[in-house]
Structure 1
């Protein structure tokens, strides 16, 4: 006979669930997708089909057009060299964003959307609109290259990148849950944009100056300043994250300030880059380095805030009988999460490891759902999601742990994994 979770004890941080789900395999309308409500109406299925169909069509057309433009301007050889060298910057920035996003990982489909929006939509739009802006300033007898880099590019490029973050904020609103999410989504959009822009600059430098030119641009853009674009757009993502739980028009000025900050930092960077070599390095030391330090501090602070939210809400669930103290300690520590997955694989193979990973991810989603509920989010999906996730985390536990007391299960998860000394 399956063991039922202990009834709530009245802990004020976690009100008693309206429906206490039984231990066992998920069933009913929430069995479809990791605790998320399944599509039970044709309208919701059609809406999802239209959204993703539109996104795939948009990315396909912009990708085709961008490929033609880049190949025509730089040539196949220079484009391939630019692609290979620009990929190194991806290997620097993307792991940092994934590190920040470890505890409450964002869905891969939305991360790919963010990257492709920046790489395809934002880049192609910027190429077109920047040319128009440069032509406008050329008619005013102003150096079009200087005006384009300093006045046109910061506004246009940040507007197109921030638009992608804003689309995620509204369309995938239930996956945009705070500052960390805002930083990660904005960073992925900016990484995609910088990736294609680097290919264009690297390929152009190779055509004009050969290998030395390629190497020089690689040092400047991929090694010295790989975080430039992510830091600019992160201002807007940070601002959206600040209002993720307060989606009211009276807070609209916060994202507006974030956009202005992104444009201003982009302006400073471009102005220094086109002024002189000495001016660039001076701006790099006095502006870019402190900005990067501040960016890192914000990432660390945001990670700690997310950890605090997880610990607070999962402890509340633990006091109501859903998690043991050892499980809570494991769930709020990336290191202990890794050890728990290794333990599960050792005792139950790949399927048990998958169940442990799902248990960890769904526990994080459960804490986010509770955070929405306690902040008074009127969307009824959070109540439904909480009930479904309470059910599925119990079922996941049964997949990687033998039928015994929860305390004994947790002790195995935490203490049977060998400690590294």
Structure 2
């Protein structure tokens, strides 16, 4: 696996001449001239490679067919839930449950989107993760849990706690975790490691909790009126909105570790260990819920400590992704595609914000868009290189690398040209 060679050198003047910016050091500016590696990128004789159109429409047709099937499946499941809720609780209770179930989503989702800032995942896949949790994982879980409850009740009416403590965690975490395995095996280019694993898992768990909250809130309103609705909302929506996302994030961590290693054994063991951790945490939480007030308070205190640890881990994971980006971009400095200051900027979210502010100040909205695209492209390039390091390198990955390099260079030219004084 070799690093791409830089563009040919030339003697043209650097377009950044005359900059008056606190970020000029990041782009190779020196009082006596400019660093040769950056200057090479502005040689007028260098013509970036252009992506060629696909000669066959089959991939596009396949994408539309798969997308249509997935959309139809989700629509059918949504209609099944709508009919079930309406028949079981009525329209009013269902609508109230829906409205109050949206509130925890607004609390949880931004946390995982914050984690996903360095290399944001496509919104379509994030939406798919939410819908998978809300529909594709919830319906079979409801069916299996209901069937298990009937079987347990018929065998021993006093053993009602078996289903929520022993059955539900296994069933629910299995169906939620399937989405992560699908992403890992079939959409590897959008699954780069820990940050992606936690993000997809958290949003999938938030979707599952959303539908489950509608069920519990509507049930509470039907059985106990407004007081029951309020109490259930406080317990599920305000006191424990992160439970399902945090449980499923354990699987995301395991699959993320598998995506970040070359070891075949780790690729198998890590996802299974993550699933076991998710089931264990889920089971312990459900056990506290059926153990009376004292048991619940003890379980809640322990769960709060686990949540704090999880938040600290999320912060560390985001910082780690920045370090990974810096590490895999560093060799592009040696080959002339990036300046040292650019790598430093791209590895820090704070410096990225400063660079975007500088771009907007010097070139307006268009320059800001170019800087943002430059940063996103560089992140994708770094994580592509990480995948090439951890997994098999194929012709598609090499071609994608060159396209990203050319795109990054073009974006730099855009915001540099807009910023000349």
Short-chain TM bin? 0.7 to 0.9
The answer (yes or no) to whether the contact 2:213–2:236 under 8 Å persists in 1 is yes
The one-character-per-residue Cα deviations of 1:263-285 (angstroms, maximum 9, x if unpaired) are: 11111011110120111111111
The answer (yes or no) to whether the contact 2:189–2:384 under 8 Å persists in 1 is no
| Residue matched to 1:109 | 124
Counterpart CA distance in 2 for 1:39 and 1:256 is 39
The one-character-per-residue Cα deviations of 1:161-192 (angstroms, maximum 9, x if unpaired) are: 01122111122111111111111111111010
Give the direction of change, closer, same or farther, for the CA distance of 1:360–1:154 in structure 2 (3 Å limit): same
Counterpart CA distance in 1 for 2:92 and 2:235 is 21
Counterpart CA distance in 1 for 2:317 and 2:250 is 13
User: Which residue of the other structure, out of 255, 276, 283, is the alignment partner of 2:299?
Assistant: 283
The answer (yes or no) to whether the contact 1:23–1:394 under 8 Å persists in 2 is no
Per the normalisation by structure 1, the TM-score is 0.84
The answer (yes or no) to whether the contact 1:201–1:217 under 8 Å persists in 2 is yes
- SS of alignment partner, residue 139 of structure 1: helix
- SS of alignment partner, residue 377 of structure 1: coil
| Residue matched to 1:90 | 105
| Residue matched to 1:118 | 133
Structure 2: tracts of 5 or more residues without a match: 1-5, 11-42
| Residue matched to 1:302 | 317
Counterpart CA distance in 1 for 2:272 and 2:313 is 19
Structure 1: tracts of 5 or more residues without a match: 8-19, 30-37, 404-408, 417-421
Per the normalisation by structure 2, the TM-score is 0.84
The one-character-per-residue Cα deviations of 1:285-305 (angstroms, maximum 9, x if unpaired) are: 1x2022112212221221122
Out of 239-248 and 58-67, give the one that drifted further: 239-248
User: Which residue of the other structure, out of 271, 286, 291, is the alignment partner of 1:270?
Assistant: 286
| Residue matched to 2:381 | 366
| Residue matched to 1:12 | none
- Report runs of 4+ in structure 1 exceeding 6 Å deviation: none
User: Which residue of the other structure, out of 234, 250, 253, is the alignment partner of 2:269?
Assistant: 253
Superposition pairs for residues 66-215 of structure 1, below 5 Å?
66-143=81-158, 145-215=160-230
The count of aligned residue pairs is 383
Question: Is 2:72 aligned against 1:57?
Answer: yes
Superposition pairs for residues 336-415 of structure 1, below 5 Å?
336-375=351-390, 377-402=392-417
Counterpart CA distance in 1 for 2:58 and 2:367 is 36
